[in-house]
Amino acid sequence: MAGNQFGKLFSVTTFGESHGAAIGGVIDGCPAGILLDLNAIQADLDRRKPGQSAIVTQRKEPDEVAFYSGLFEGKTTGTPIGFAIHNTNQKSHDYSHIKDSYRPSHADYVYDQKYGFRDYRGGGRSSARETASRVVAGAIAKQFLSGITFNAFVSSVGPIRLEKPYQELDFSESEKNPVRCPDPDKAKEMEAYIRQIRKEGDTVGGIISCAIQNLPVGLGEPAFDKLHAELGKAMLSINAVKGFEYGSGFAGSELKGSQHNDPFNEDGSTKSNRSGGVQGGISNGMDIYFNVAFKPVATVMQAQDTINSKGEKVVMEGKGRHDPCVVPRAVPIVEAMAALVIADYELIRRTNKL
């Protein structure tokens, strides 16, 4: 119930704090017989790791994953896959500025209230470092789901928006720029904006969009566990996320039914896809696409008024190397969480019919 597990049949349980010895987890329920490409897993980790470009945090962490179990002769065995990423960056830091003070819009205060005390080194468990474990699990889920594609990309940074529908984009462009925006011109604008924000000692939010393609019909359950509901939970569980919409989304609420309905083709596909690939909580074989809103990183390199644990006013200034904008590094996390949801529902789907 402490919520460190995601997925029911294809699940991952994660552990680890930002400044502990290691982070990692256990992937349970992965079917036997999948020949795993370990390089592809590391490649997804590298897309998430710090220090990969000039517009993300300059911390250096190699984030190499070690697998302890569940693999034999290159294939999954059906038993749990234990893994760890050892922290190499554990030198003793000076935490005196945050030990007794509560950073604005961080979780310091709520941890103290909830647990009675907290691990004050970095963000502890609430650090986005935990998501590296999700990327490992998601990369394995992707391989289980070979054929289904997951393409996330940055569609806005602060006020700069990519307005094109995803169908007009070339996803292969995303990895060619540090922002991970598949439109090269918009990518340049976004990159310049992030550089400027960083100079100001500030941070900025953004939006990641994602398309899941080549899905079978029948993933998802009718009532509480609608496919898009679990996708929404998955995305909202990523650090800094403030909103989720799929298909026509918030804009769809303005439409009339006669405008919104998707007419069928004779093969059961639909001419339009305002439904976003899901009907009644169940995939209909069309593309699933959705948007995920990220708030700006709370750690700014500016002096801020705040309080300490005694309730006294103090002034605090951000230290260390932080991301000016989180969305470029969050792209593989969005894909990983999407893959974990789909993998789980693919296994559930096997149990629905006689």
- Binding to a second copy (CB under 8 A) within 162-191 occurs at none
**Taking contact as CB under 8 A, which single stretch among the options 37-45, 91-99, 257-265, 328-336 is the one that binds a second copy?**
257-265
- Nearer to a second copy by Cβ, of 106 and 321: the residue is 106
Tokens of 331: 């792209």
Which residue from 266, 327, 275 is spatially nearest to 55, judged by alpha carbons?
Answer: 327
Q: Does 96 bind a second copy (CB under 8 A)?
A: no
Q: Does 284 bind a second copy (CB under 8 A)?
A: yes
> Which residue of 80, 138, 182, 332 would you call a contact of a second copy, by CB under 8 A?
80
Work out how close the CB of 163 gets to a second copy at its nearest, in angstroms, rounded to a whole number.
14
Q: Does 54 bind a second copy (CB under 8 A)?
A: no
Work out how close the CB of 6 gets to a second copy at its nearest, in angstroms, rounded to a whole number.
4
- Nearer to a second copy by Cβ, of 183 and 262: the residue is 262
Distance CA 162, CA 276 (A): 19
**What are the Cα distances from residue 172, in Å, to 140, 151, 175, 324?**
21, 9, 7, 25
Query: What is the end-to-end Cα distance of the chain in Å, rounded?
Result: 32
Tokens of 169: 């984009």
Side chain identity, residue 261: N
> Which residue of 149, 252, 287, 321 would you call a contact of a second copy, by CB under 8 A?
252
3-class secondary structure, 147: coil
> Which residue of 92, 96, 172, 352 would you call a contact of a second copy, by CB under 8 A?
352
Size of the residue set binding a second copy (CB under 8 A): 151
Per CB under 8 A, contacts with a second copy among 304-323 are 304-307, 311-313
324-348 burial by CB neighbour count: b if 16+ within 10 A, else e?
Answer: bbbbbbbbbbbbbbbbbbbbbbbbb
Q: Does 34 bind a second copy (CB under 8 A)?
A: yes
Kindly state the DSSP code that residue 268 receives in the 8-state scheme: S
> Which residue of 62, 122, 178, 243 would you call a contact of a second copy, by CB under 8 A?
243
> Which residue of 29, 62, 122, 178 would you call a contact of a second copy, by CB under 8 A?
29
DSSP readout, 88-154?
S--PPP--HHHHSEE-TTSSHHHHHHHHSS---STTGGGSGGGHHHHHHHHHHHHHHTTT-EEEEEE
Distance CA 106, CA 120 (A): 12
Kindly state the DSSP code that residue 215 receives in the 8-state scheme: P
Tokens of 296: 């700006």
- Nearer to a second copy by Cβ, of 60 and 115: the residue is 115
Per CB under 8 A, contacts with a second copy among 99-158 are 102, 104-107, 109-111, 113-119, 121, 123-126, 130, 144, 156, 158
- Nearer to a second copy by Cβ, of 176 and 292: the residue is 292
